[in-house]
Homo-oligomer: A and B are copies of this chain.
């Protein structure tokens, strides 16, 4: 379920196979042209009271969409050659995961591997935090180690004790790895990575938010 006046049109525009839309009469009227262009979608007019009952969020929107979770089974270790991917281990906060998906979309990363113990990428809070980017970034839930061992591309594990990120040049292919909000990446994943990277610290903070760290790393390695 994707909720939001902004994300529902974005899903439709990007051609994500939406099955149903529940929305207010005003929303349907505003988006009539778009809905006419996507004839497979069943649209049901509901009032705000019903939307509030359907919503998983504390602040309901004018529209929500139901869609099948896109299969991402074609994301295999072999498919990562020549591209930059993100792999996330045990990200727990839906807002952080959504923020990271949005960062990936900004920097043109098209696929993210989420370890099975990450928060669900299709949690309504995650979807909302992606601000529509969930329509453009594909998510595979999978163990990460096989990708590190079989993809044959360099991998960059974010840790507090790696090599200064400013020493790396712009990536053309590879897997960027971000770990849990408080514990970081597991030793197994760090050990299997070809590079350990660290954002140098000039001040007093003990750590950075996982989404911010992902952004800074992408901002150094991808542009």
Closest to A204 in B: B136
CB pair A203–B131 under 8 Å, yes or no, is no
Q: How close is A20's CB to chain B, nearest CB, in angstroms?
A: 24
CB pair A131–B206 under 8 Å, yes or no, is yes
- Rounded to whole angstroms, the CA-CA distance of A218 and B215 in the bound complex is 11
Closest to A218 in B: B216
**Number of this chain's copies in the complex:** 2
CB pair B202–A106 under 8 Å, yes or no, is yes
- Across the interface, A133 reaches (CB within 8 A) one of B104, B133, B205, namely B205
- Rounded to whole angstroms, the CA-CA distance of A100 and B131 in the bound complex is 20
Chain A residues touching B, range: 35 or more
Q: Which residues in B have their C-beta under 8 angstroms from that of A203?
A: 104-110, 136
- Across the interface, A102 reaches (CB within 8 A) one of B104, B107, B208, namely B208
Q: Which residues A199-220 have CB closer than 8 A to chain B?
A: 199-209, 211-213, 215-220
Closest to A6 in B: B206
Q: Which residues in B have their C-beta under 8 angstroms from that of A217?
A: 219
Q: How close is A209's CB to chain B, nearest CB, in angstroms?
A: 5
CB pair A205–B166 under 8 Å, yes or no, is no
Q: How close is A164's CB to chain B, nearest CB, in angstroms?
A: 8
A103 at the interface (CB under 8 A from B): yes
A222 at the interface (CB under 8 A from B): yes
A71 at the interface (CB under 8 A from B): no
A188 at the interface (CB under 8 A from B): no
- Rounded to whole angstroms, the CA-CA distance of A99 and B218 in the bound complex is 18
Question: CB within 8 Å of B: which residues of A?
Answer: 99, 102-110, 131-133, 136, 164-166, 199-209, 211-213, 215-220, 222-223
- CB pairs A–B below 8 angstroms (29 shown): A99-B209, A102-B208, A105-B203, A106-B202, A108-B202, A108-B203, A110-B203, A131-B207, A132-B205, A132-B206, A133-B204, A133-B205, A165-B219, A165-B223, A166-B223, A199-B219, A199-B223, A200-B223, A202-B223, A208-B215, A211-B212, A215-B215, A216-B216, A216-B218, A216-B219, A217-B219, A219-B219, A219-B220, A220-B220
